[in-house]
Each structure stands twice: as C-alpha cells, then as structure tokens.
Structure 1
Amino acid sequence: FLGAEPGSLGAVGVSGCPIYADNALKDRTNMVTGANENDYHFSGVSMERDITVDEWVDLREVQSGDLCLTCMEPLDIVPTIESGHIFKLGTKYAETFGVNVLDENGKSRTVVMGSYGIGVERAMATIVETHFDDKGIVWP
C-alpha cells in the first residue's frame, strides 16, 4: 500500500488511510522517518509541519523509567497477579429480567449490574506466589 518494506515506511505525504500517532510524538521535531521507498528516509521531520495526524492516541508500551503522563514521575514495572476480576455488565441482564429500583425521587430505574469474582484456586496461587522460602510454601 505504501510502496516500501518495513524500515522504510513513514507517514509523511500519506493519503488514503487514517494516521494515528502516539501522544508522545506531539510537538516533536527534527525526526527521521521512512520515505515510503526502500532504503530512503526523510530527516528533519516535524509532526506539526510534515504529518497530518487524524487521531492522537496512547499507543506505546511503557518501559521502566518512562515518565507517567499524569504525574510525570518515572514508572516502575513490577510483577503482578490477577487475584480477582470485575466486569461491568450494564443493564443487559437487568432489562431482560425486569430488575428495577426506585431512585431518590421514587422513579423506577433499571439496575446497573456487575460481576465480581475471586476463586479459591486463584487465591491459593496468589498466596503461593507471594509467600515462599527456599524450603517451599509458607502459608500465612
């Protein structure tokens, strides 16, 4: 579609497809990008001047030490365990079964439902992963 192999692709002058760019690229200048011809590149590229971005989005996978976009502090990457889950079900099942409550004004409203779960196996796995020594499991 763009006429080049990976390593020579770029968004300068591209038309006919939407351009999504990572928020971290906003206001960037003096960059190098592929020229959409094998082994050719543009240098001195400015996002604002040279690339028409259709939508700015958060695309990057963060690395340890990257700055948090909210507080601008360095991020730490740490191991985690999913010990439970929460799913917002909305009103789908409540509407199906006619589950309603009265609001503060006495008006009938459909309940917004959720699904919450934590399993015995998952809890045990979490304990084993976090409570052990060189001899094995140390039950809390």
Structure 2
Amino acid sequence: MLRRLLLVSALLFLAACTRAPLVTPQEVFPADRTENAADVRRAIVDTLERRGWSVGQESPGLVVASIVVRDRHQAWVDIPYSTKGYQIRYRDSAGLDYDGERIHRNYNKWVQLLDADIRRQLQLPAPAADAE
C-alpha cells in the first residue's frame, strides 16, 4: 500500500513539473512604425509553415493554426493581427494537460519560438525581460 502511495505521489509530482502557466505573447508595434496588414499576415503564415504548424482557416485579421507533435500532442491557436500588432492566443489542445491556467511547458516553448520568429521576420526588437 505504501509503495502505491509513493508511486502515485511521484507521478503527480512529475506531472506538475511538466506544466507551467499559459503564455500568451502579444506584440504591439511601436508608435513610430506603420505595418501593412498583408506583411504582418505573411510574416505570421511564413513562420507557422517554417515551424511545422498547419494554417487552418483564415479571415481578414485572423489566422488559425495547429500543430501535432508525436501524434499525441496537439495545439490550436488563434492569431489576430492588424497594422498595430498581433497576439498568439490559445484556442484548444489535446494531450497537453491544460486545466484553464496551466499547460504542458512545451506548448509555451512552441508559442515563444513562433513569437520570436515572427518578430525577427518583421524586424522587431526582442521583448523586455519583464514583459511576461
């Protein structure tokens, strides 16, 4: 009985260690920059495709994308954009243990890499270290 209790405790501990608060990157373009919405969309779509995400439905000002990793982890994001900025918003997931606040840390890594590459493509500065 003690062995089972220890095993369950260890599994719960490991599960908690792989989750982190959900990250939602948002970029507001500097006031002195005017971006063309088509250029912002192109940077988003090019980055998604280069990073292995699938671009789903699109409408003016919104890109919906998904990624499947090792056939058991899936994530869907909405990326609203305009001439003033963009945001990468969580939409849904499977296999990432999202509980409304915390999610598997790999999701955050995927989203942060997307954000960094979109910034690079648009030639934007890196976010301040305390931006999150």
User: Normalising by structure 1, what TM-score?
Assistant: 0.17
More strand by share: 2
Q: Which one has a bigger Cα radius of gyration?
A: 1
Between the two structures, name the one with larger relative contact order (CA 8 Å, sep ≥ 6).
2
